[in-house]
Copies of this chain bind each other. A is one copy, B any other.
Amino acid sequence: MMVQHKTPGDIERTSMGIILEELAGLGLTPPPEHQAVVCRVVHATADFDYARNLVFTPDAVQKGIDALLAGAPVITDTNMAKAGVSRPCLQKLGGEALCFMADAEVAAVAREKGTTRAVAAVDKAAAQHPGAVLAFGNAPTGLLRLADWIEQGYRPALVIGAPVGFVNVVESKEHALEVCRRAGVPAILAMGRKGGSGVAAAICNALLYTACGTLDPAARGWN
C-alpha cells in the first residue's frame, strides 16, 4: 500500500488540527486552558464524548503543570497507565511514575487487613507521597479510597480520575469531584462511564508535554 511518509510530528499536528476543527463543528471548542488536555484525550481515543465528559476544577491544569515542573511524581493505579505516561518528560522534570498495585508489600498489607490491593496501594501513596499527581484509570475503589484520604486531610497536587465501567464508576467520580471541590484539591475527571488507563495517561501526558515544552513527538523520546 502506498503510504505518505510523514514524520510523527507532522501526523500529530494534522491530527490535532482535525480534532479542533471537529470540536468546533460540534460546538465543543474547549476553553484555551483545557485545550491541550481535551485534544490529547480525543487523540488517544478518537472519542469526542470526552469533550463533554471532562471536568476541571479551577486552575487544575496550571496547578498540575506547576507540580510536575517542581518534580512531583505521578502515581497511577495500574502498570498499564504507568507505562503510558511519558518517562522521558518526567525524567527531564526530575519526576518519576510510580504504581504500587503489584508491590509485594501492598499485597501483604491487603492480605493482612482483608482489603484489596487497590485500597492498600492508595494507602501507601497517601502515607508516603504528599503533593503527588494521582492518576486513576481503572476501578472506582481506588478513587473512592483517595476521596476518603482527602476528607482526612491528604492533599495531592492533582487528582486525575478516569475509572471506566458499569458498577459504582459514575458515582465514584461524582463523589470524588465533590470531595475535591470541597477540599480545594485540583482535579481533572472524566465523568460518566467512560475512561481507562489510556485516558488517565493521556491527561498526564498533556500536562507533561506542556511542562516540558515538547509538543513535537520527535523531541519527546520513547517510553
Cβ-defined contact, B222 with A101, below 8 A: yes
Cβ-defined contact, B101 with A166, below 8 A: no
The quantity of this chain's copies bound in the complex is 2
Question: Measured between alpha carbons, how far is A29 from B47 in the docked complex, in Å?
Answer: 22
Considering only CB atoms, which chain B residue lies closest to A11 in the complex?
A: B167
Count of chain A residues near B, Cβ 8 A: 50
A residues 85-117 near B (Cβ < 8 Å) are 101-102, 107, 116-117
Q: For residue A3, which residues in chain B have a CB less than 8 angstroms away from its CB?
A: 141, 144, 168
Interface residue stretch chosen among A60-68, A75-83, A180-188: A75-83
Majority-rule SS of A interface residues: helix
Return the contact of A165 from the options B4, B43, B171, B192 (Cβ within 8 A). Answer: B43
Q: For residue A47, which residues in chain B have a CB less than 8 angstroms away from its CB?
A: 47, 194
- Chain A contacts to B: CB under 8 angstroms: 1, 3-4, 6, 8, 11, 14-15, 18-19, 43-47, 78-80, 82-84, 101-102, 107, 116-117, 139, 141, 144, 147-148, 164-169, 171-172, 175, 192-198, 201, 222-223
* Shortest 8 CB-CB contacts between residues of A and residues of B: A46-B193, A83-B83, A80-B84, A15-B166, A80-B83, A46-B194, A18-B166, A79-B83
